[in-house]
Structure 1
Amino acid sequence: MPNYKFECLNVSVSGEGVARVEINRPEALNAFNTQTWTEIGQCFTQFKSDGDVRSVVLCAAGRMFTAGLDLKEAMASSLGKARDPDSDVDVARKGYYHRLFILDFQSAISAVEVCDKPVVVVVQGGCLGIGMDLISACDVRIATEDAYFVVKEVDIGMAADVGTLQRLPKIVGNDSWVREVCYTARRVGSKEAHLVGLVSSVYATTGEAMKAAEDMAGVIAAKSPVAVVGTKHLLNYSRDHSVGEGLEYTALWNTLAHNSHDMATAIVSSLKKQAAQFPKL
């Protein structure tokens, strides 16, 4: 089993295959420094090839999911220096390395999406900036009544560049609403987030939301891992391709996946009205 020891994340995996990932910088309102997003990328990359992990619950310690990017660290880092107008470094050279930095950041957050294990995220309190990028890469979003969401980047003089602008329109399906919240950086409450489809359910307390997420992840973990990872992979592929392309790709995928013993196990268990037991991936 991979070593899930991190500085900014608390990670555990239950015997049933449910991994719990907790962002753990409550003293900084879980603001993302480089270590945080790097560890998220590493963690979810490891999950993808860990057969003991069947589903994931993502959450955060403290009263806020995340305050967004750690601006103090960002300004003190090479990211901040790249913006220094007094720097004598050639603009093209600064731009070259800054692009690589952005691509690394994108890859770390995208690791949540390309990890074939479904991810259920629980949002409490504020979810700002990079938090929106992160939850947009998750499969299912659950919120508490006090949760609120802000696409914050325009307020610090930039366009969001780690996934929100690419994923949010496909999650919500209301182009006018998406553009409004991205242009204005206004605060969106949990009730509105539920209404537009950003989150699938809202609970009164963090405890209730966590229980719902863990129950859902447990149900997912009990299914055939071959079926679950295939379903997530095909949903992601089909979202980004035409219906025809999605169908053709699914046919190729299932040409292999239909050879799994899980299908026979599931059918027999269903007929006997028994809970099926599936080996790990």
Structure 2
Amino acid sequence: MSLTVEVSDHVAEVTLLGPGKGNAMGPDFWRELPVVFGALDADPEVRAVVLTGSGAHFSYGLDLPAMMPRWGEVLAEGALAAPRARFHDEVRALQHAVTSAAACRKPVIAAVSGWCVGGGLDVIAAADIRVASADARFSLREVKVAIVADLGSLQRLAGVIGEGHLRELALTGKDIDADRALRIGLVNDVYPDQTAALTAARATAAEIAANPPLAVQGTKDVLGHEREHRVADGLRYVAAWNAAFLPSKDLGEAVQAFLGRRPPEFTGQ
């Protein structure tokens, strides 16, 4: 429903389909992502993975209208322990979905065009290599909708772009263009258009796939050993933090402002 997979010459190409606008990530995506990457990890014919989005954009991120009904009871004022525990389990499941890309033993190359927002940024942070087209735009936007980002960007991007750049993106929720992404190391290279970026990602995947597969997988495992232990601890902490503190009047205001297409008015409650 939300992803397609094509395999050719030991390279798998995974394409986000949505079905939300701009490949927004709804329930189907979160259910299917770990299934797809689990299968690619187990497939001996696959040696590298290209991850990209259909249409003009990589992903608008979390499909809030589709996901909010699942969280209604914990967002209600005065939510008790049971709904908070269920919400904690939901966050952990979403975290597992993103981690499936990082845990896949086959290197993942993300090719980004157009918008890559929120959950989209979480997913490409779990990739090994990122390339972009000149029109790409990135945003760690959760703070603007009264959410602490909890799916891996806060844990994984420090090692990619450094603490200062990460704190700037996370605390402001600002958008950055492909040139800025290149300067801070979020992407390895920028190409003129979507076709060129995807072609470059495929070429890198083919180059990786031509190497001895066990050596490649061992290299990825060793490179990720220290980071993923640290990431796992951070993910557990933020899941507990959000289960305790996410429900707020500001979050409700953010959702209503989003649905009403108006600026939010936050009160700190």
Name the TM-score class by shorter chain: 0.7 to 0.9
Aligned partners of 1:33, 1:13: CA distance in 2, in Å? 25
- Secondary structure of the residue aligned to 1:22 is strand
Q: Is the 8 A contact 1:26 1:61 kept in 2?
A: no
Determine which structure has greater relative contact order: mean sequence separation of CA pairs < 8 Å that are 6+ residues apart, divided by chain length: 2
Indicate which of 61, 64, 87 corresponds to 1:68: 61
Alignment of 1:93 with 2:82, yes or no, is yes
Alignment of 1:10 with 2:4, yes or no, is yes
Indicate which of 137, 156, 164 corresponds to 1:167: 156
Superposed displacement of residue 176, structure 1: 1.8
Quickly say closer, same or farther: Cα 1:11–1:73, change in 2 above 3 A: same
Alignment of 1:58 with 2:58, yes or no, is no
Aligned to 1:116: 105
Superposed displacement of residue 80, structure 1: 2.9
- Secondary structure of the residue aligned to 2:23 is coil
Aligned partners of 1:26, 1:206: CA distance in 2, in Å? 20
After superposition, give the CA deviation of every residue in 1:59-82 in whole Å (9 maximum; x if it has no partner).
Answer: 00011111111111122x221332
Q: Percent identity?
A: 36
Superposed displacement of residue 189, structure 1: 0.7
- The residue type paired with residue 5 of structure 2 is V
Larger radius of gyration: 1
- Runs of 4 or more consecutive aligned structure 1 residues displaced over 2 Å after TM superposition: 238-242
Q: Is the 8 A contact 1:26 1:62 kept in 2?
A: no
Indicate which of 196, 208, 232 corresponds to 1:208: 196
Q: TM-score, normalised by structure 2?
A: 0.82
Q: Which runs of 5+ in 2 are unaligned?
A: 231-269
Compare the two structures and name the one with the higher helix fraction: 2
Aligned partners of 1:64, 1:23: CA distance in 2, in Å? 10
- Secondary structure of the residue aligned to 1:120 is strand
- Secondary structure of the residue aligned to 1:13 is strand
Mapping for residues 119-198 of structure 1, pairs under 5 Å: 119-173=108-162, 175-198=163-186
Q: Is the 8 A contact 1:38 1:108 kept in 2?
A: yes
Alignment of 1:32 with 2:25, yes or no, is yes
Q: TM-score, normalised by structure 1?
A: 0.79
Aligned partners of 1:114, 1:195: CA distance in 2, in Å? 27
Q: Which runs of 5+ in 1 are unaligned?
A: 1-6, 243-281
